[in-house]
């Protein structure tokens, strides 16, 4: 298939995955609208999705695209957590064996949840190297040794197509509320979610502006979009947004984001902590740091949102109680 899935392909993926996912709600917040000066603010909390994030959507769709022989052999992939949980949950439902390679510093809650869905978890030590590079190398090695199908967590047009259901749902839910989004804030790691969401709005709401939100120093997508070609950011530090620490976007997500006219922005860890606290207090929703990045971008006040209808995609909520309240205590 093309690097940029068509609207028909997005809708087919949504239809096939529908029995295996939840339609997450769209929450309107008058308090956030008053605080930011926006006309209306809507939040789509994918933290309420099966396995705690949007990732199960793309994972389930990708597994349904395997041949019978591939499904019997099983798959291997790498992830810091949310894709691991999503793929493990999808594999459990479809009866497909899943092996996940996870960095040693991935949150323990995510590792335990992945094992809980029946996946075999292999932990990697990365030292001073980029953790995704080490985990990817180990996944490739396991694929060769065990004759497993190697899947990429985000750089796959089918993953982009599967994640697009978040956007397709949101467009329909906004319309049901008599609204059309002027601007969408969406978190970006490797780009699977932003690619799918951006395409959904590109096809169905082309005047909507899509803003990809990344942690400071991990804005590979934003830098790449601004330069017109894929760029790799240097490894300089860590972020509390463990799910958004990719240093460069995938080829397929970059193609989708480029086609949809996405632009990037960044947020600090302190802004993310404040956003987690605001979501908890105002929306009664628990976001992990990565899931709160998009809300942080709205609350930072760096974007011209006055008088506009805003959609915030909250991508996940896989955070332990101890870590969650520690972040709130430092907000």
Residues in the chain where the model's pLDDT stays below 70: 1
Render pLDDT for 286-303 as a digit per residue (tens, 0 to 9). Answer: 999 999 999 999 999 989
pLDDT score for 20? 94
From the centroid of its chain, how far is CA 267?
16
The alpha helices in the chain, defined as continuous H runs, are 7-17, 30-36, 55-64, 68-73, 82-94, 108-116, 131-146, 157-163, 165-176, 192-204, 220-227, 251-259, 269-278, 289-299, 321-329
pLDDT score for 56? 97
Render pLDDT for 73-86 as a digit per residue (tens, 0 to 9). Answer: 999 999 977 899 99
DSSP string across 141-205: HHHHHHTPEE--SS-SHHHHHHHTHHHHHHHHHHHHTT---SEEEEE-SSSHHHHHHHHHHHHH-
pLDDT score for 281? 97
pLDDT score for 255? 98
d(CA 277, CA 271): 10
pLDDT score for 109? 86
Say if residues 315 and 46 touch (Cβ distance below 8 Å). Answer: yes
Q: What is the pTM of this model?
A: 0.96
Which of 181, 329, 185 lies closest to 263, judged by CA?
185
Render pLDDT for 88-97 as a digit per residue (tens, 0 to 9). Answer: 999 999 999 9
Render pLDDT for 235-252 as a digit per residue (tens, 0 to 9). Answer: 888 899 999 999 999 999
Say if residues 87 and 119 touch (Cβ distance below 8 Å). Answer: yes
Phi, psi of 115, rounded to the nearest 5 degrees: -60, -35
pLDDT score for 237? 83
Query: Both tokens of residue 87?
Result: 């793929």
Domains of the chain: 7-54+158-329 (3.40.50.1100), 55-156 (3.40.50.1100)
d(CA 218, CA 241): 10
pLDDT score for 127? 81
Render pLDDT for 103-114 as a digit per residue (tens, 0 to 9). Answer: 998 888 889 999
């Amino acid at each position: 298939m093309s690097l940029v899935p068509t609207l028909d392909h997005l809708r087919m993926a949504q239809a096939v995955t529908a029995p295996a996912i939840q339609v997450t709600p769209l929450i309107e917040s008058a308090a956030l609208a008053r605080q930011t000066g926006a006309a209306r603010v809507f939040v789509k909390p994918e933290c309420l999705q099966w396995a705690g994030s949007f990732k199960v959507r793309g994972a389930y769709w990708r597994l349904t695209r395997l041949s019978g022989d591939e499904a019997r052999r099983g798959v291997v992939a790498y992830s810091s957590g949310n894709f691991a949980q999503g793929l493990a949950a999808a594999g459990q439902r479809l009866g497909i064996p899943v092996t996940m390679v996870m960095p040693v510093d991935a949150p323990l809650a995510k590792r335990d949840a992945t094992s809980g869905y029946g996946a075999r978890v292999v932990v990697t030590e990365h030292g001073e190297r980029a953790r995704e590079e080490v985990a990817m190398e180990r996944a490739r090695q396991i694929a060769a040794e065990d004759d497993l199908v190697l899947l990429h967590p985000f750089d796959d047009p089918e993953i982009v197509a599967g994640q697009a259901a978040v956007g397709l749902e949101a467009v329909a839910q906004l319309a049901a509320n008599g609204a059309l989004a002027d601007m969408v804030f969406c978190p970006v790691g490797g780009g699977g979610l932003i690619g799918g969401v951006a395409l959904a709005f590109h096809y169905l709401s082309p005047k909507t502006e899509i803003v990809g939100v990344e942690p400071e120093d991990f804005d590979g997508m934003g830098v790449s979009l601004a330069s017109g070609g894929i760029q790799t950011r240097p490894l300089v530090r860590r972020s509390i947004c463990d799910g958004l620490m990719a240093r460069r976007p995938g080829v397929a997500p970059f193609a989708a984001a480029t086609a949809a006219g996405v632009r990037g922005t960044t947020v600090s860890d302190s802004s993310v902590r404040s956003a987690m606290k605001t979501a908890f207090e105002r929306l009664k929703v628990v976001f992990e740091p990565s899931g709160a990045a998009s809300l942080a971008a709205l609350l930072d006040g760096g974007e011209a949102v006055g008088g506009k209808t805003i959609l915030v995609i909250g991508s996940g909520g896989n955070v332990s109680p101890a870590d969650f309240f520690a972040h709130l205590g430092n907000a």
